[in-house]
Amino acid sequence: MHAANGSPAQHTHLNKLKVTKVQSLPLRDDHGRVYFFVRVDTDAGIYGLGEVGTLGMGRAIMEAVDHLAEVVVGSDPWETERLWQLMFRGNFFPADRTYGCAISAIDIALWDIKGKAAGLPVYKLMGGPTREKVVCYAHIQGQTNQILVENALEHVENGWKFLRWHQPETSETDIVENTTRLEPVESMQTCVEQMTMVREAVGPDIQICLDVHTRLDPTHVIQMCKDLEPLKPYFIEDPIRSENFGSYRNLRRQINLPIAAGEQWVSKWSFRQVIEEELIDYARIDLCIVGGLTETLKITHWAETHFIDLVPHNPLGPVSTAACVALCMASTNVGVQEMPREPGTYITDLFTVQIGFEDGYAFCHDTPGLGVEIDMDVAESRAADPHGWLPQLKRNDGAFTNW
């Protein structure tokens, strides 16, 4: 039953919803990969789905979800702004990254509910479409430079217009210790070689995105970016660690390449300095960390006033993908959307309905909500522990460096 097609009585009923349950759903696919979803149910039988952005903190986030459920259950899901403020600062101390992830998942699920109750896709609730489809970038990889080039060409042949890979490691993974080496100067040299080879292979019209992944210090990344300038990458992502926003001033003065950053930041306040001082060119907002759609919309429109475009961070599952693409369809200032896997090509038994994808572009269907549906029978058999550690990176002297 959709309110858009219902009687006045049905409209009234669906505008007076009440949240009845908030449920964490950490799930494993048939390849062993873990995802962390949140389902929010209402008294009208309408449910919404959200997704959590940081899996390694999953057990703590589950506790945060349960804690936040105390104020969300019994509330009206239409009141996303009031509930966001209550979840973020209702315990006096503002939310950190753990609570930010929990807030994000719940908030996205509430928007999904609002769309279903209204009989409208979420992107129409956010202002309607500004574009018909959203251009996306693929993740390419290769253990050798030549394999990386071959993978790049394969993606271009499949219709992708944007390619991305990350700052290369400088040794193979030690499976026993779960560690890999990343020596900065060696990695810098390899990176320049890789981009040179990929650019020569794909030509000038394919856009290249390099994710430094916070793996280098400012001095190293500044030198590497100078060497990369002739190759004209679309952007350099996370060139330094994210803790000190002011350090981007130093980069801005010395790097003549577009800078993308923001995937680790929580709330609008983390983006304040880099937006107002125009220290970045692309905002890498992670909807599943920053505070959900409610907070992302504020950052998006704020960035628009400084001519900063969106490149939403999306290494996750179908719910994150749908929320990101809905945001991009409804926003004017969009660069490109991260899309490591084509929607509808993975965990289709668990998510029986997903958004669309064709020829390097993603798009939301004209269906109520986010446009994703979960099979709870399958979900019950895929329960997982959302806890763990990423592989660790070390320099040649044994010092720890960012993954």
Same domain, 41 and 165: no
Same domain, 111 and 177: no
Among 352, 345, 331, 248, which residue's Cα sits nearest to residue 287? 331
3-state DSSP assignment of residue 111: helix
Please report whether residue 394 resides in a domain.
no
- Reading the block at residue 270, the tokens are 């983390």
Same domain, 134 and 87: no
Token pair 């220290």 in the structure block, residue: 279
Token pair 């100078």 in the structure block, residue: 226
Please report whether residue 388 resides in a domain.
no
Same domain, 136 and 259: yes
Residue finishing a domain among 121, 152, 180: 121
Give yes or no for a contact between 309 and 281, defined as CB atoms under 8 angstroms apart.
yes
Among 308, 305, 304, which residue's Cα sits nearest to residue 261? 308
Instruction: Quick: pLDDT tens for 321-353.
Output: 999 999 999 999 999 999 999 999 999 999 999
Same domain, 31 and 167: no
State which residues form the domain around 98.
3-121
Give the pLDDT score at 7: 38
Instruction: Quick: pLDDT tens for 197-221.
Output: 999 999 999 999 999 999 999 999 9
pLDDT above 60: residue 166:
yes
Give the pLDDT score at 149: 98
Q: How many domains does the chain have?
A: 2
Structure pTM? 0.95
Same domain, 60 and 203: no
Same domain, 306 and 165: yes
Give the chain's mean pLDDT. Answer: 94
Among 194, 189, 170, 167, which residue's Cα sits nearest to residue 180? 170
Confidence bin at 13 (pLDDT 50/70/90): low
Confidence bin at 389 (pLDDT 50/70/90): confident
Confidence bin at 56 (pLDDT 50/70/90): confident
Same domain, 243 and 347: yes
Please report whether residue 395 resides in a domain.
no
Please report whether residue 392 resides in a domain.
no
Please report whether residue 377 resides in a domain.
no
The CATH number given to whatever domain includes residue 144 is 3.20.20.120
Among 210, 69, 207, 173, which residue's Cα sits nearest to residue 391? 173
- Reading the block at residue 281, the tokens are 């060119």
Lowest mean pLDDT among 104-113, 154-163, 296-305, 383-392: 383-392
Please report whether residue 63 resides in a domain.
yes
Same domain, 105 and 139: no
Give the pLDDT score at 3: 40
Residue finishing a domain among 77, 103, 121: 121
Per-residue pLDDT, averaged over 59-75, amounts to 97
Confidence bin at 6 (pLDDT 50/70/90): very low
- Give Cα separations from 148 to 50, 155, 186, 220 (angstroms): 34, 11, 17, 23
3-state DSSP assignment of residue 260: strand
pLDDT above 70: residue 364:
yes
- Reading the block at residue 273, the tokens are 């300095």
Give the angle subtended at the CA of 234 by the CAs of 251 and 337, to the nearest 5°.
110
Same domain, 213 and 324: yes
Please report whether residue 380 resides in a domain.
no
Give yes or no for a contact between 362 and 115, defined as CB atoms under 8 angstroms apart.
no
Confidence bin at 173 (pLDDT 50/70/90): confident
Same domain, 100 and 194: no
Confidence bin at 8 (pLDDT 50/70/90): very low
Give the pLDDT score at 15: 74
Please report whether residue 87 resides in a domain.
yes
Per-residue pLDDT, averaged over 79-102, amounts to 96
Residue finishing a domain among 91, 121, 151: 121
Same domain, 207 and 60: no
The CATH number given to whatever domain includes residue 92 is 3.30.390.10
